[in-house]
Amino acid sequence: MEYIPIPSQTVGPYFAIGLTTPRPVARIANPEVKGERVKLLCTVMDGQGQPIPDAMIEIWQANAEGKYNHPDDTQEKTVDPAFLGHGRLGTDDRGACAFETIRPGRVPGPNGTLQAPHLEVSIFARGLLKRLATRIYFAGDAANGEDPILALVPEDRRGTLMAQPVAGKAGAWHVELHLSGENETVFFDV
Protein backbone atom coordinates (compact mmCIF):
# COMPACT_ATOMS: atom_id res chain seq x y z
CA MET A 1 0.00 0.00 0.00
CA GLU A 2 1.32 3.40 -0.92
CA TYR A 3 0.55 6.44 1.25
CA ILE A 4 -0.12 9.68 -0.57
CA PRO A 5 0.40 12.91 1.35
CA ILE A 6 -2.64 15.14 1.58
CA PRO A 7 -2.89 18.80 2.63
CA SER A 8 -3.46 19.51 6.31
CA GLN A 9 -7.03 20.14 7.34
CA THR A 10 -8.64 22.39 9.88
CA VAL A 11 -10.42 20.76 12.77
CA GLY A 12 -13.66 19.22 11.55
CA PRO A 13 -16.73 17.52 13.07
CA TYR A 14 -14.74 14.63 14.54
CA PHE A 15 -13.15 17.07 16.95
CA ALA A 16 -16.31 17.31 19.08
CA ILE A 17 -17.21 13.67 18.62
CA GLY A 18 -13.79 12.41 19.64
CA LEU A 19 -12.86 14.79 22.47
CA THR A 20 -15.80 16.43 24.16
CA THR A 21 -18.66 13.95 23.96
CA PRO A 22 -17.18 10.79 25.52
CA ARG A 23 -15.02 12.41 28.23
CA PRO A 24 -16.44 15.64 29.59
CA VAL A 25 -15.12 16.78 32.97
CA ALA A 26 -17.37 19.49 34.42
CA ARG A 27 -16.54 18.94 38.10
CA ILE A 28 -12.98 20.07 38.83
CA ALA A 29 -13.44 19.90 42.61
CA ASN A 30 -15.82 17.48 44.30
CA PRO A 31 -18.19 18.92 46.93
CA GLU A 32 -16.04 17.75 49.87
CA VAL A 33 -12.93 19.63 48.68
CA LYS A 34 -11.93 22.58 50.90
CA GLY A 35 -12.42 26.03 49.42
CA GLU A 36 -14.93 28.60 48.23
CA ARG A 37 -17.38 26.92 45.84
CA VAL A 38 -17.46 28.44 42.35
CA LYS A 39 -19.62 27.76 39.33
CA LEU A 40 -17.78 29.13 36.30
CA LEU A 41 -19.96 29.85 33.28
CA CYS A 42 -17.94 30.24 30.07
CA THR A 43 -19.12 31.46 26.68
CA VAL A 44 -16.94 31.22 23.57
CA MET A 45 -17.62 33.80 20.85
CA ASP A 46 -16.28 34.43 17.36
CA GLY A 47 -15.08 37.76 15.97
CA GLN A 48 -18.64 38.89 15.21
CA GLY A 49 -19.84 38.12 18.74
CA GLN A 50 -21.65 34.94 17.69
CA PRO A 51 -21.47 31.85 19.92
CA ILE A 52 -19.23 28.99 18.84
CA PRO A 53 -21.24 25.80 19.45
CA ASP A 54 -18.43 23.30 18.98
CA ALA A 55 -15.47 24.69 20.91
CA MET A 56 -13.77 22.91 23.78
CA ILE A 57 -12.46 24.56 26.93
CA GLU A 58 -9.83 22.90 29.07
CA ILE A 59 -9.06 24.30 32.51
CA TRP A 60 -6.18 23.65 34.93
CA GLN A 61 -6.11 25.22 38.35
CA ALA A 62 -4.55 25.11 41.79
CA ASN A 63 -6.47 24.08 44.90
CA ALA A 64 -7.53 26.54 47.62
CA GLU A 65 -4.03 26.40 49.14
CA GLY A 66 -2.33 27.27 45.83
CA LYS A 67 -1.05 23.81 44.84
CA TYR A 68 -1.64 22.10 41.51
CA ASN A 69 -2.60 18.43 41.45
CA HIS A 70 0.42 17.66 39.26
CA PRO A 71 3.82 16.09 39.96
CA ASP A 72 5.63 19.19 38.64
CA ASP A 73 4.23 21.24 41.56
CA THR A 74 6.80 20.43 44.23
CA GLN A 75 5.46 22.77 46.92
CA GLU A 76 5.18 21.10 50.32
CA LYS A 77 1.41 21.45 50.40
CA THR A 78 -1.11 18.65 50.25
CA VAL A 79 -3.65 18.00 47.53
CA ASP A 80 -6.98 16.48 48.47
CA PRO A 81 -7.58 13.32 46.40
CA ALA A 82 -11.10 14.64 45.63
CA PHE A 83 -9.55 17.66 43.90
CA LEU A 84 -9.11 16.79 40.23
CA GLY A 85 -7.59 20.17 39.30
CA HIS A 86 -8.58 20.10 35.65
CA GLY A 87 -11.73 20.06 33.53
CA ARG A 88 -12.72 19.76 29.89
CA LEU A 89 -16.05 20.64 28.30
CA GLY A 90 -17.45 21.27 24.88
CA THR A 91 -19.70 24.26 24.32
CA ASP A 92 -23.41 23.93 23.61
CA ASP A 93 -25.49 25.63 20.90
CA ARG A 94 -25.15 28.93 22.80
CA GLY A 95 -21.35 28.59 22.91
CA ALA A 96 -21.58 27.96 26.66
CA CYS A 97 -20.42 25.45 29.24
CA ALA A 98 -20.20 25.44 33.06
CA PHE A 99 -17.57 24.10 35.47
CA GLU A 100 -18.04 23.28 39.16
CA THR A 101 -14.92 24.06 41.14
CA ILE A 102 -13.40 26.10 43.96
CA ARG A 103 -11.69 29.45 43.91
CA PRO A 104 -7.98 28.67 43.47
CA GLY A 105 -5.37 29.87 45.92
CA ARG A 106 -2.38 32.03 45.03
CA VAL A 107 0.49 30.19 43.38
CA PRO A 108 4.16 31.19 43.23
CA GLY A 109 5.16 33.56 40.45
CA PRO A 110 8.47 34.76 39.05
CA ASN A 111 11.12 36.15 41.42
CA GLY A 112 9.36 35.07 44.60
CA THR A 113 6.08 36.85 43.82
CA LEU A 114 2.60 35.44 44.24
CA GLN A 115 0.06 35.27 41.43
CA ALA A 116 -3.59 36.22 41.92
CA PRO A 117 -6.17 33.42 41.95
CA HIS A 118 -6.65 32.34 38.35
CA LEU A 119 -7.43 29.41 36.09
CA GLU A 120 -5.23 28.32 33.19
CA VAL A 121 -7.39 27.95 30.07
CA SER A 122 -6.90 26.34 26.68
CA ILE A 123 -9.46 26.81 23.92
CA PHE A 124 -9.76 24.44 21.00
CA ALA A 125 -12.18 25.10 18.12
CA ARG A 126 -12.79 24.59 14.43
CA GLY A 127 -10.30 26.45 12.31
CA LEU A 128 -7.63 26.38 15.02
CA LEU A 129 -4.67 24.13 14.47
CA LYS A 130 -3.18 25.05 17.85
CA ARG A 131 -4.81 25.73 21.18
CA LEU A 132 -5.33 29.28 22.36
CA ALA A 133 -3.92 29.77 25.87
CA THR A 134 -5.31 32.34 28.28
CA ARG A 135 -6.19 32.85 31.92
CA ILE A 136 -9.34 33.63 33.84
CA TYR A 137 -9.04 35.90 36.87
CA PHE A 138 -11.81 36.99 39.26
CA ALA A 139 -12.87 40.61 38.87
CA GLY A 140 -12.42 42.67 42.02
CA ASP A 141 -9.90 40.34 43.66
CA ALA A 142 -7.44 42.49 45.62
CA ALA A 143 -4.52 40.29 44.50
CA ASN A 144 -5.09 41.14 40.81
CA GLY A 145 -3.08 44.35 41.24
CA GLU A 146 -0.06 42.33 42.43
CA ASP A 147 -0.14 39.58 39.78
CA PRO A 148 3.11 39.65 37.74
CA ILE A 149 1.56 37.94 34.70
CA LEU A 150 -1.54 40.15 34.63
CA ALA A 151 0.81 43.16 34.87
CA LEU A 152 2.23 42.16 31.46
CA VAL A 153 -1.18 42.79 29.87
CA PRO A 154 -2.01 46.39 28.90
CA GLU A 155 -4.40 47.79 31.48
CA ASP A 156 -7.16 48.49 28.94
CA ARG A 157 -7.11 44.78 27.88
CA ARG A 158 -7.10 43.15 31.33
CA GLY A 159 -10.90 43.12 31.45
CA THR A 160 -10.90 40.42 28.75
CA LEU A 161 -9.41 38.05 31.33
CA MET A 162 -11.89 38.78 34.13
CA ALA A 163 -14.77 36.57 35.17
CA GLN A 164 -17.60 38.69 36.52
CA PRO A 165 -19.94 37.69 39.36
CA VAL A 166 -23.42 36.67 38.20
CA ALA A 167 -26.05 38.85 39.88
CA GLY A 168 -28.37 36.94 42.19
CA LYS A 169 -26.42 33.66 42.00
CA ALA A 170 -24.06 33.14 44.91
CA GLY A 171 -20.73 31.67 43.82
CA ALA A 172 -21.51 31.97 40.09
CA TRP A 173 -19.07 33.73 37.76
CA HIS A 174 -19.27 34.35 34.01
CA VAL A 175 -16.58 34.97 31.42
CA GLU A 176 -16.87 35.59 27.68
CA LEU A 177 -13.94 34.31 25.64
CA HIS A 178 -13.76 36.08 22.26
CA LEU A 179 -11.49 34.37 19.73
CA SER A 180 -11.04 37.50 17.62
CA GLY A 181 -12.56 40.88 16.87
CA GLU A 182 -12.94 44.09 18.82
CA ASN A 183 -13.46 42.29 22.15
CA GLU A 184 -10.78 39.65 21.59
CA THR A 185 -9.61 37.93 24.75
CA VAL A 186 -5.90 38.30 25.52
CA PHE A 187 -4.12 35.08 24.57
CA PHE A 188 -0.62 34.12 25.69
CA ASP A 189 2.14 32.76 23.49
CA VAL A 190 3.17 29.69 25.51
CATH number at residue 148: 2.60.130.10
Domain count, the chain: 1
Q: Is 9 a member of any domain?
A: no
Q: Is 119 a member of any domain?
A: yes
> H-helix or E-strand containing 15?
helix 14-15
Q: Domain of 20?
A: 14-178
Instruction: Name which of 11, 26, 46, 19 is nearest 176 in CA terms.
Output: 46
pTM here is 0.89
Q: Is 190 a member of any domain?
A: no
State residue 52 phi and psi, 5-degree precision.
Answer: -105, 110
Per-residue pLDDT of the chain (190 residues; tens, 9 = 90+): 666 555 544 555 555 555 555 668 899 999 999 999 999 999 999 999 999 998 999 999 999 999 999 989 999 998 888 899 999 999 999 999 999 999 999 999 999 999 999 999 999 988 888 899 999 999 999 999 999 999 999 999 999 999 999 999 999 999 999 999 999 999 999 8
